[in-house]
Amino acid sequence: MDSLEKQLICPICLEMFTKPVVILPCQHNLCRKCANDIFQSSNPYLPTRGGTGASGGRFRCPSCRHEVVLNRHGVYGLQRNLLVENIIDMYKQENISSRPSPEQKVDQPMCEVHEDEKINIYCLTCGVPTCSMCKVFGAHKDCEVAPLNSIYQTQKTELSDRIAMMVGNNDRIQGIISQLEETCRSIEENGRRQKSKVCEKFDHLYAILEDRKREMNVKVNAEQEEKLSYIRRLTRKYGDHLVSMTKIMETGIQTLEEPEMAVFLQNTKPLLQKIAEASNTSHLERVERSYENMDHYSVSFKREGRALRNIDFARDDDDDDDEEDEDEEAVDADSRAGQTASGEVDSLNEALPPLLPPQPPSTRRSATSS
């Protein structure tokens, strides 16, 4: 009983715990009133709620000096240790029953077989209390017996030790629960961190693809503008030539309407010479066949598609030489196991094919004279 009573002593008031009993994160117990007194002495300038604990704050455990951080409920936010409270009630009840007042007479149980005999011995063989008559004449005459008070003290001590052991086991279990809760918080935090790193890696991959797309489109646009500029310039030349021929044709129609033969003959020779010159289109360039074709800028991403579909988390035995991207930040060795697909991103950047070189500029052949 003495060992159990020591387990139930508050380290502040040095008396048996007064309910409610609160359990600290370090698994030590305090009376809530004592915890409130320690908290107020450690935080004299914090406002209180009607004389009770303040909202938030911290104090140190008197047993192990572990810092206890309170939430907005103060000491009322600490968890109650119902097991210790129940043990205190049982202990007090046991003391009251084992130490009756002098004026009270304790009724001693009587033997069921010998109704006039009190139970005063304990049968060690059968493990039950009995009376002396049962030992002499009854069912326990061949059994080994012992005085009732010696067995009582032995079993009472054993029960007290078992209860004390349960208190210690409860403290250990509370510690394990706290560790498991901390592990849950660590898993959640690590999961959020790793998902953020995965998103960063994929954003970097998107940026690489966007840069390559922009570079490829720039090259296509450059040749497109060059060809369009040439075709538009050639269109203007043919247009100017058409206007010149139209004017000569109008002049010829007017000459045909000339009634004077002498005037007609004077204008006919230079007009025929102009018509012959205008009909000659050998000085005008002609477009090469399939000049408008841009198929030489075709690309194929089959190999890169397979690489993208095979993106996965990095393994411990991956070769670090694959990570050659100068823009990649250095990865800490302690968190390398959680990095996501870093080798695949860098290898894919290296695997993107360069643009197919454009065909040599089309030669512009001069048209033969018509």
The tens digit of pLDDT for each residue in 77-134 reads: 788 888 888 888 888 887 776 665 554 455 677 777 776 677 778 888 887 888 766 7
Taking residues 174-184, report their average pLDDT. Answer: 92
Residue with tokens 């009190």: 118
pLDDT at 343: 45
Q: What is the pLDDT of residue 367?
A: 36
Please say whether the beta carbons of 25 and 68 come within 8 A: yes
DSSP per position, 129-160: EE-HHHHHTSTTTTS-EEEHHHHHHHHHHHHH
Average pLDDT over residues 4-28: 80
The mean-pLDDT minimum among 36-50, 69-83, 215-229, 273-287 falls in 36-50
- Does the global pTM surpass 0.75? no
User: Which tokens go with 37?
Assistant: 């007194």
Distance from C-alpha of 63 to C-alpha of 365, rounded to nearest angstrom: 101
For the stretch 346-359, pLDDT in tens is 444 444 444 344 44
pLDDT score of 101:
52
Q: Six-digit token pair at 196?
A: 């953020």
Of residues 278, 283, 290, 217, the one with CA closest to residue 250: 278
Number of residues that this document lists for the chain: 370
Tokens of 285: 């360039």
pLDDT greater than 80 at residue 54:
no
How would DSSP label each residue in 8-74? TB-TTT-SB--SSEEE-TTS-EEEHHHHHHHHHHH-TTS-BSTTS-BSSEEEE-TTT--EEEE-TTG
Tokens read off for 298? 């075709």
pLDDT tens-digit series, residues 197-235: 999 999 999 999 999 999 999 999 999 999 999 999 999
Mean pLDDT value across the chain? 77
